[in-house]
Structure 1
Amino acid sequence: MRFSLEATMEFSKPIDFLKLDFPKLIARINSELFRKGVPQEQEGSRIVHWNIIGTKLILTIEGSTYLRPHDALLRLRKFLAQKFGREYNIGVRSIFVKNYEIRFKPKRMPKEKVEVKVPWVKEIVQKDKELLVKLQDLDSTALEDRYVERILKRIEEKINQKLYGGKAEHWELIWKSRKRKVVWDKDPTPEMERRGWIKRFNVGVWLHMPITTKIMRTFQKIAEREILRPLKFEEVMLPKTVPLEVWLQTGHVPGSSNSFFYVCRPEKWDPEFWEDFADWVKVTRKIPYDLLTEKLAEPNAGICFAQCPPLYWYFKKKLIPEKELPLKFWDASGVSYRWEGGGLHGIERDCEFHRIEIVWIGTKEQVIDIKEKLLERFKRIFDKILELEWRMARVTPWYMAQAGQLGLEEEKEIGTIDFEAWLPWRGPREKSEWLEFQNLTVAGTKFSDAWNFKTEKGKEIWTGCSGIGLERWLAVFLAQKGLEPKKWPKKFVKILGKLPKEIKLI
């Protein structure tokens, strides 16, 4: 990589009187200050042009990856602030990079134009099997907070995403159940609507009446009986509105930003502030959405997208005694929301859904051991109680897929296993798309690193999670077993008991 930076450093007083001695100082800076930490045979950074105008030092710095010019500039600011402060009582007020050009060969060349839509990126040009990245208007905050590195990383991600374009994520079959006799081959959603079991309330939101409610509560009872109690998971109640800063730490922002339901509080509580809104509604019997928008604060949170992030936040910067490990939790205290865009159909893909989130925290060995125990428990439920036709596949973890990465984690124990089931109404099992109705992820140290928690002895902590989507279980079960209880597995019916009566409306 090659770098060329044009910057201005402004001082608290004019420094014109230093012009005569400055060439010697620049030579010392290039030969000493900018050589620290750079291998002897490699190039670091060099000031190739400078000028002094009043309180401003104007610089052009060129360099390589061994000492990038923006890091050299930060190093120079500290050096001159100490030197000029001590010798002339002059301080550094600010640094500002007007233009910054970076040339490099990415791991994969893009097939089309790459854009990073932030104000510091002026242009990205593909030329002679290289990318020329032109940056602009970088202040000290942008340099100190590593915007340059993140822009370069984002470029690589976007290149991967464009190459990823139409390709499937990594998918590797690791286990498959036996084939089951087809009991029913109809889509259960319209039939449940016709019978009054469910009713579409909003886009991707269903109202569940007593029958489907009892079925899903039975699924939860089975999960508690077969998994949560035997493996000694403890119930918690996690918040269902999550600050965006929490999702930033876990990687859901920006990866899933297009799928959140955002939360805005009122700009003011004062009833007088809302009086014109109330008057409008009283007179028109309509919602003035433009006026409402003016009265809401900017969104700073979202409704629960994935239940586990607040739990990881709980451990932020804490040390956990090893004798307390493993920690095992579950939460089913509220709904989750995801905007699915054009992917909505029936109950198999919702915006609002009910889920049991299972989270475990411990040493690497403990987390892997719990994963294996969970897999066996899930197998028992799906094979022996629900009698499903299903399979397990090792897939690209969500946090890699969202970054445009196609493969798997290097460490084989880390990653996601999808549980998929055949929906007969979609077509033959060999050709149709199976529904992912459950997954299990071992995230390694991803979340403990993000929130900086370790054991009391400083050892790394691993985490795992698995979400039981009750609507997905319902969609799979009814798609394979139909809507007639007499055709359902006997073990499930025994746990279920008698179904409520259908509600007949005229």
Structure 2
Amino acid sequence: MECIISLERLAPSQHGQVKYASAFVDETIEDITLEDGTLRIVHHSPKGNEGIEAQVNRLIDRFSKGDFGFKESILFENKGPKPYNGDIIAELAERKIIKVLEPGLFIFREPFSSLMRFMDYAFVTKVAGRFDVKEEHYPAVIHSETLNKTNHFTSFPEHIHFLTHLREDLDVIEAFSQSVRDLGGWRLSDPLSLDETMPKPKFTMNPSTCYHCYEGLQDEVLEGDGVVVSAISKCHRFESKNHSDFGRLLDFSMREIIFVGKPDFVKENRLKSMEYLKELAAEWEMDSFMEIANDPFFTNDFQTKASFQRNQEMKYELRLTIPYLDKSIACSSVNFHSNTFGNAFNIKMGKRPAVTGCVGFGIERWAFAFLSQFGLNEADWPAAFREQYEAWKQKSL
């Protein structure tokens, strides 16, 4: 079945966010397209078109609630040469440089894997290294209680990958093993009672690198003006049919630089990091721009939260152009959280809660965007980037 829904009640700037959120209204949805202000949803839901339309209209009501308006501003732009205009995902897959296991889940091979490692090295040396930074290493899983303190369960519940295990019960473990053996192997369609065989999840996959930093500083009183921490970790976000969009990965690598301390310390370092990002984009001749942005809150008060973020300029995104799609994707974000996490984790500067901010680099997205602009032929890469990449390869041998 195909359900067609007009988005005329919404501003054009909100159409993409409604399309994104609509992927979560029914698990039978097979495809969603947006064209000329109209959503086309292919599905086989027992609710029929009326049921799908009713769910999407709930989202439209949510996104159109109130007259808040969005403050929009581009902080800087860099025009790059963009010599390549091919479908880079298709070329990488055809040349077996990436293996697509399913939408959003890839295996990366050379030279893409080397490009990722080089870019992370560059982010550390060219941006993080310009601060008095401490390197940390984080796990890919996080306590559910920690995630609860960040309000992730209420702001982005659709993203969460829960982790659990078979109950510590010999009968349950042996019965599960025997049932799989009897059926000839594991099948996704096989019935499995989570309540009977698995406990409530104590852990989830980590959706963001910086959460572990705040967890690690819990109940501490920091000295001086604050601390700067850098770490890279695997992050995981479930995005339903949106994983078919360019750059939306189920499992991805995120380098972050995290500022925790006094308000002026965090704000000043955040501004410096934006300048360093601007310098890097220009040095690598990346076609890009930085703009005020908001998180894709999945809540009834979306408009209030999103407008507050934009009007207070709490989130900026560096977006890199994808020429063959004639669009851009967010590859870095620069965030200010005020004292939200300082309060949540009881991190103090003297007697006052610390404030926090962070700069994030989506490693795979940066690599995909770079190759989408310059292709796989290194002779077409910008001279500065090529020289730095070759020097890094020699150093890494």
| Residue 214 of structure 2 corresponds to residue 312 of structure 1 | yes
1:164 is matched with which residue? Answer: 64
Structure 2: give runs of 5+ residues left out of the alignment.
1-57
2:376 is matched with which residue? Answer: 483
Q: Distance in 2 between matches of 1:400 and 1:411?
A: 19
Could you tell me which amino acid in structure 2 is paired with residue 184 of structure 1?
Y
Between the two proteins, what is the percent identity of the paired residues?
Answer: 18
| Residue 275 of structure 2 corresponds to residue 376 of structure 1 | yes
Could you tell me which amino acid in structure 2 is paired with residue 223 of structure 1?
F
Contact 2:294 2:310 in 1 (8 A): no
How far apart are 1:202 and its partner, in Å?
A: 3.2
CA RMSD of aligned residues (A): 2.9
Alignment of 1:214-225 (within 5 A): 214-225=114-125
Q: Distance in 2 between matches of 1:426 and 1:392?
A: 19
Structure 1: give runs of 5+ residues left out of the alignment.
1-157, 428-432, 501-506
Summarize deviations over 1:141-190 as a string: whole Å, max 9, x none.
xxxxxxxxxxxxxxxxx999625379998352232324223311122101
Q: Distance in 2 between matches of 1:469 and 1:255?
A: 21
2:191 is matched with which residue? Answer: 290
Alignment of 1:329-368 (within 5 A): 329-332=229-232, 334-345=233-244, 348-368=247-267
Q: Distance in 2 between matches of 1:399 and 1:369?
A: 27
1:455 is matched with which residue? Answer: 349
Contact 1:255 1:402 in 2 (8 A): no
1:174 is matched with which residue? Answer: 74
Contact 1:185 1:480 in 2 (8 A): yes
Q: Distance in 1 between matches of 2:357 and 2:363?
A: 20
Summarize deviations over 1:105-152 as a string: whole Å, max 9, x none.
xxxxxxxxxxxxxxxxxxxxxxxxxxxxxxxxxxxxxxxxxxxxxxxx
Could you tell me which amino acid in structure 2 is paired with residue 390 of structure 1?
S
Q: Distance in 2 between matches of 1:459 and 1:198?
A: 48
Q: Distance in 1 between matches of 2:98 and 2:92?
A: 6
| Residue 204 of structure 2 corresponds to residue 302 of structure 1 | yes
1:328 is matched with which residue? Answer: 228
1:155 is matched with which residue? Answer: none
2:290 is matched with which residue? Answer: 392
Contact 1:395 1:408 in 2 (8 A): no
Could you tell me which amino acid in structure 2 is paired with residue 257 of structure 1?
P
- 1:424 equivalent among 323, 330, 343: 323
Q: Distance in 1 between matches of 2:348 and 2:300?
A: 26
Q: Distance in 2 between matches of 1:168 and 1:478?
A: 38
Q: Distance in 2 between matches of 1:167 and 1:389?
A: 34
- Report the number of matched residues: 331
Contact 1:335 1:354 in 2 (8 A): yes
2:258 is paired with a residue whose SS is strand
2:139 is paired with a residue whose SS is coil
2:340 is matched with which residue? Answer: 446
Contact 1:170 1:395 in 2 (8 A): no
2:92 is matched with which residue? Answer: 192
Contact 1:169 1:396 in 2 (8 A): no
1:417 is paired with a residue whose SS is strand
Q: Give TM-score, length-normalised by structure 2.
A: 0.76
How far apart are 1:399 and its partner, in Å?
A: 6.3
User: Which of 441-450 and 395-404 deviates more?
Assistant: 395-404
1:483 is paired with a residue whose SS is coil
Contact 1:189 1:346 in 2 (8 A): no
Summarize deviations over 1:366-410 as a string: whole Å, max 9, x none.
1111112111211121110x2111111112356698731242359
Summarize deviations over 1:292-318 as a string: whole Å, max 9, x none.
744222223210101212221233333
Q: Distance in 1 between matches of 2:134 and 2:357?
A: 15
Alignment of 1:234-313 (within 5 A): 234-268=134-168, 270=170, 272-287=171-186, 289-291=190-192, 293=194, 294-313=196-215
Structure 1 pair 269/401, CA: closer, same or farther in 2 (3 Å)? closer
1:258 is paired with a residue whose SS is helix
How far apart are 1:416 and its partner, in Å?
A: 0.3
Q: Distance in 2 between matches of 1:410 and 1:394?
A: 6
| Residue 336 of structure 2 corresponds to residue 437 of structure 1 | no
Q: Distance in 1 between matches of 2:197 and 2:208?
A: 29
1:66 is matched with which residue? Answer: none
Contact 1:397 1:441 in 2 (8 A): no
Q: Distance in 1 between matches of 2:276 and 2:105?
A: 30
Could you tell me which amino acid in structure 2 is paired with residue 491 of structure 1?
A
How far apart are 1:282 and its partner, in Å?
A: 3.3
User: Which of 357-366 and 163-172 deviates more?
Assistant: 163-172
Summarize deviations over 1:230-256 as a string: whole Å, max 9, x none.
212211122321222222211111111
How far apart are 1:498 and its partner, in Å?
A: 9.2
1:407 is paired with a residue whose SS is helix
Q: Distance in 2 between matches of 1:159 and 1:425?
A: 30
Contact 2:76 2:278 in 1 (8 A): no
User: Which of 342-351 and 473-482 deviates more?
Assistant: 342-351
Contact 1:244 1:253 in 2 (8 A): no
Structure 1 pair 169/178, CA: closer, same or farther in 2 (3 Å)? same
Q: Distance in 2 between matches of 1:423 and 1:169?
A: 28
2:318 is paired with a residue whose SS is strand
Q: Distance in 2 between matches of 1:278 and 1:336?
A: 30
2:85 is paired with a residue whose SS is coil
Larger Rg, first or second structure (1 or 2): 1
